[in-house]
Structure 1
Amino acid sequence: MSATRMHPDEHPMSDALVRRLIAGQFPRWAGRAVERFASGGTVNAMYRLGDDLVVRLPLVAGGAGDVLREQEWLPRLVPLLPTAIPEVLGFGQPAEGYPWPWSVYRWRGGENPEAGAVREPVALAEDLAGFVTAMWSVTLPGAPTAHRGGPLDSLDEETRQAIRLLRGIPQEGIDCDAAETVWQDALREPDWDGPPVWLHADLMPGNLLVEGDRLTAVIDFGCAGVGDPACDLFPAWNLLPADGRQAFREALGVDDAMWRRGRARTLSQALIALPYYRNTNPAMARNARHVIAEVLRERDRVAN
């Protein structure tokens, strides 16, 4: 986690603020140790609260809706999924000068997997496919639209703007022409014409917890909702090597059109993230570079 603010409108955070919020709203947890948890996340600050709890607070106004989404839907999703997900134990309210809702969760142990360091990629791919399949099978009514869950062309303007920005950062060494070609080719694919399905919609390595390369938990459901199932193919390029990627695809039974949409969506997220976070969030920038390289490598393999 960078000491530099990621967003110009971040709310200042401190251990003292979290202690006051806890003491005022959850006195049963007052007096517990409070410590900022270093995270590559971009929207929330996390504070350990003793050994078994974590406090999660939006850094910016746009994260407030994510908190409310988790508070509403996580309790309903818990019994429907094969993998552990966050358990909300406390619904915090604005106070002490802090302007947004926030939550207390049970702490989930494990480590974030790292692209390039997965020793058992096929096993992890199968675990991820099991989680994604379960998400796609959820039938809870009244679901919100997932973040990034709409048609692919809804991301076009922001993606092309990111490519223009990267053309102005030659030190990144991005083949912007190739990236733009992948994006343009994907826009020619048919949109998802089936019913919208439940999605996590943000399956980044930082939102996965593993032990011994086996998936133990999926966290951060702030983007969750319904939309194009291709949105949950992100791990194919942001985490898994080629053999794991193939196992992931086979386990999900993904056709060519969905695969190309998923690849383009993952590329879009990386292209947008890199110029924004390259100086403030090393983990996000590093993974964005990895995604761009993997997508272009896969494109070249298919072309040859």
Structure 2
Amino acid sequence: MHAEELDIDAGLVRRLVAGQFPQWAGLPVEPFPSGGTVNAIFRLGDDLAVRLPRVAWGVDDVAKEHHWLPRLAPLLPAAIPTVLGLGEPAGGFPWPWYVYRWLDGVSPDPARLDDAESLAKDLAGFVAAFRRVGLPGGPVAYRQGPLSAVDAHTRTAIGELEGMIDTGAATAAWEEALRAPGWAGPPVWVHSDLMPANLLVADGRLTAVIDFATAGVGDPACDLIPAWNLLPPAARRTFRDAVEADDAMWARGRGWALSMALIQLPYYTRTNPSIAANARHVIDAVLNS
């Protein structure tokens, strides 16, 4: 997916685990297909997962998650990853890595939601609980506003998508989002990357949220993106009501969803079909809402 990413295979993971966590050395290691872009995921036995950065710009996330995940877990209504072991660089792998407890569930598919209304309420409950987190000293979230910070990248992406999407409509929708009033309240805790690939569901209900590399404090609008990347129109309204988003926050959330999708689509069209497909879904959802 990235020109500078490392080649990571099951043999490397077996050697790393055996060298640093002998208690798990005999467990089978299998690559796990993931829509993620920064980390490689391997299943370790039935109950564990190994997560390793693919690229240098994902390395600092290891220490960040190791520090914040255990502090956030008791404050949130859905399961989040539990770090069971922090690995060190070794055997030709230059960066820290980690072993997690395996979380059951599947990533939701916007085209096949079993209970979109209940899922919308579950997501709203998670977002609201995250906003209430009172942990001091939180890092600045990866997406924390204002939208003008990504204006140049978004417009560049629109230019790259000429002939693939309605770039005139996309530009108009983006400029409408830029005109929305900014967040006037104090920064609050946000996940800032609530993509379907970072959600786990079972029987139609939210069971877990993963990948907290982008989490921190900022404008809560960035956590409204599931309204367009996952939920159908009726459940979108349910979600908005439950998170109590006013017009300005909703417009900024729509802008974040659109910007992310516009930037993702040209970058991942050939390398990550699941993200590219969701980006197209988001663009359609925004331009038709």
Q: TM-score, normalised by structure 1?
A: 0.94
What displacement does 1:96 show?
1.0
Q: Which amino acid aligns with 2:222?
A: C
Q: Provide the residue aligned with 1:196 in structure 2.
A: 187
Q: Distance in 1 between matches of 2:230 and 2:74?
A: 27
Q: Provide the residue aligned with 2:51 in structure 1.
A: 56
Q: Provide the residue aligned with 2:80 in structure 1.
A: 85
2:250 to 229, 252, 259: 259
Count of aligned pairs: 289
Q: Provide the residue aligned with 1:124 in structure 2.
A: 119
Other structure's SS at 1:141 match: coil
Q: Distance in 2 between matches of 1:262 and 1:203?
A: 12
Q: Which amino acid aligns with 2:98?
A: S
Q: Deviations over 1:9-59 (max 9, x none)?
A: 010111111011111111111111000001111111000000000000011
Q: Distance in 2 between matches of 1:116 and 1:259?
A: 23
**Which structure 2 residues correspond to residues 1-304 of structure 1 after superposition, within 5 A?**
6-167=1-162, 170=163, 172=164, 174-298=165-289
What displacement does 1:150 show?
2.9
Q: Which amino acid aligns with 1:262?
A: G
Q: Which amino acid aligns with 2:38?
A: V
Q: Which amino acid aligns with 1:277?
A: Y
Q: Distance in 2 between matches of 1:150 and 1:290?
A: 23
Identity, % of aligned positions: 62
- Unmatched 5+ residue regions in structure 1? 1-5, 299-304
What displacement does 1:119 show?
2.6
Q: Deviations over 1:258-288 (max 9, x none)?
A: 0000000000000000000000100000000
4+ aligned runs moved over 3 Å, structure 1: none
